[in-house]
Chains A and B, each alone.
Chain A
Amino acid sequence: MKRILVGIKRVVDYNVRIRVKPDGSGVATDGVKMSINPFDEIALEEALRIKERGGAEEVLVATVGPADCQQQLRTALAMGADRALHVQADGVIEPLVVARALLKLIEREQPLLVIVGKQAIDDDNGQTGQALAALWNRPQATYASKLELSGTVARVTREVDAGLETLEVDLPAVISTDLRLNEPRYVKLPDIMKAKKKPLDTFTLEALGVTPRRQLKLVKFEPPPQRQKGIRVKDPAELVAALKKKGLL
């Protein structure tokens, strides 16, 4: 069966104002709105569109994380994913551990394509897709803004610093999404009901044979330095004069 596997991460919603805990031990997440990482919604949307065009038969969503993550998996099922895979893990899970867990799922499910987000907006690591492609020894096409499948290859347009780059990769491959790949659909109420009946399988890291290695110590979290509040100028002339005085014009 032609499958697409989408990696999704539960993160603090992008609209939430982030506060560092006073003791520097982390970021306050109690009672804060959690969502699917925005790039992963785009990854899922792309997978669904490929399936709707007939390019795949099944869309799987997978997440590695604590029990709460099942909320986001249910949302993904409501968006249209066929099946969800939850790898249970608590605490900080480093990208290489996530990549190893996803690789185990890949070995079981043999997907044609794996789509992940280019970065999770909490840790901003931007590593998982590339690390997975490395461990799997398969191609990667990161920062995709366009994806076309034909037969055994994918043609991917990537948003790079210079502009747009197009690559051709053999399948299976790992694709990571950029914001302009698509606009994710909204979840409709009846779909939320339907999603409750869709299969959601759970695994433990141990059962998959993945060690939850911690290679990094999170020493402390600090708020960023604040910029000094500036002044209001009344018109362009005052602005230009002020900038000239500072040697900026």
Chain B
Amino acid sequence: MSAKILIVAEHDGARLNASTAKCVSCARALEGAEIVVAVCAADAAAVAAQAAQLAGVSRVLTVENPANAHALAAVLAPQLVALAGPFTHVLGPSTTFGKDLMARVAGLLDVPQISDIMAIDGPSRFRRPIYAGNAILTVELAGEGKVVGTVRTASFEAAATGGSAPIEKATVNVELPTHTRFVSVSAAKTDRPDLQTARRVISGGRALGSAEGFKILYSLADKIGAAVGASRAAVDAGYAPNEMQVGQTGKIIAPELYMAVGISGAIQHLTGIKDARTIVAINKDSEAPIFEVADFGLVGDLFQIIPEIEKLV
């Protein structure tokens, strides 16, 4: 039996999130799989059109409902369960959207979930990181049934565009709960690249000392077109907002260039950057663990080094 894979699209109502294209790449690792993308939205047209272009997608299903204006797991999950019937795999990204939603879907379906899939070795064999990435576990389904998964986006390149899959409206007859209501979302507006997809990322740690201190990073980042990230210590101290946190409990990223500035390199931080192509560490402590993973290490005071780098680029 060949795999039939349903991928849950992540989007903001207008644009498809890059994480969906990564889920498609993950699904394509299964040869001959039929890949269908589900777009649940109030108005799905724009997002569905983007999903239809992803190479490898054979169909896009849209589920339109005013209740889908905000991605609420409790509201979306029963709709996905209604769609899931014919599929062998139901995948979503390992982002806060996907992690929140997919485990509820798995619970409703009463099937196992594989979290943070980093490789698919066969229809029922997967690899995933555990213990903050300190071990890689190969798991296999014991039985025949369906499986739910979240895809570790840093492990996959985005699928190319250029496809033109048909778009179909799906109707699902399920009662949607009203016990969960969206109130608001506050997201800092930024013109900088998105942390999860940026080619270059500069992150700051506790050493930056204040939100003011982070300005030297923003200034360099803007000069080289980088996104800015932060360690947990910097976020906890209020120097940077939570959406900038990189690591086990923040964002897992895979930029071409990662610069860790005034970050010690705790295991939980390193989990977030294992897949970065090149890591640069700038730290005044030559013994800091970050240097063990850095391709280029520079020992010194960041407040002198960063402005100098900015002058040189």
Chain B residues within an 8 Å CB radius of A20: 134-135
Q: What's the Cα separation between A118 and B115 when bound, in Å?
A: 13
**Nearest B residue (CB) for A164:** B186
**Nearest B residue (CB) for A230:** B295
Within 8 A of B (CB), among A211-247: 214-224, 227-237, 239-240, 242-243, 246
> Any chain A CB within 8 A of the CB of B174?
no
Given contacts A215-B142, A220-B138, contact A123 B185 (CB under 8 A): no
Residues of chain A at interface, number, CB under 8 A: 81
* CB pair A95 B134 closer than 8 Å: no
Chain A residues within an 8 Å CB radius of B279: 227, 230
- Measured as residues with beta carbon below 8 angstroms from the partner, the interface class of chain B is 35 or more
A-B contact count (CB 8 A): 245
Most chain A CB within a 10 A radius of its CB, from B12, B102, B114, B298: B298
* CB pair A145 B242 closer than 8 Å: yes
Which of B45-53, B72-80, B205-213 lies at the binding interface?
Answer: B72-80
Chain A residues within an 8 Å CB radius of B298: 232-236, 239
Within 8 A of A (CB), among B176-194: 177, 179-188
Q: What's the Cα separation between A162 and B10 when bound, in Å?
A: 12
> Any chain B CB within 8 A of the CB of A201?
no
> Any chain B CB within 8 A of the CB of A131?
yes
Within 8 A of B (CB), among A100-147: 118-119, 121-135, 138-143, 145
Taking A131-B104, A239-B309 as known contacts, 8 extra A-B pairs with beta carbons closer than 8 A to each other, sorted by chain A number, are: A126-B115, A160-B243, A180-B242, A217-B139, A219-B140, A224-B136, A224-B274, A232-B297
User: Which residues in B have some Cβ–Cβ distance to A below 8 Å?
Assistant: 12, 72-74, 77, 95-97, 99-108, 110-116, 125, 129-143, 177, 179-188, 196, 200, 224, 232, 235-236, 241-243, 248-249, 251, 256-257, 267-268, 274, 278-280, 291-300, 305, 308-309, 312-313
Closest 7 CB pairs of A and B: A134-B107, A131-B107, A163-B187, A130-B103, A230-B295, A18-B134, A127-B103
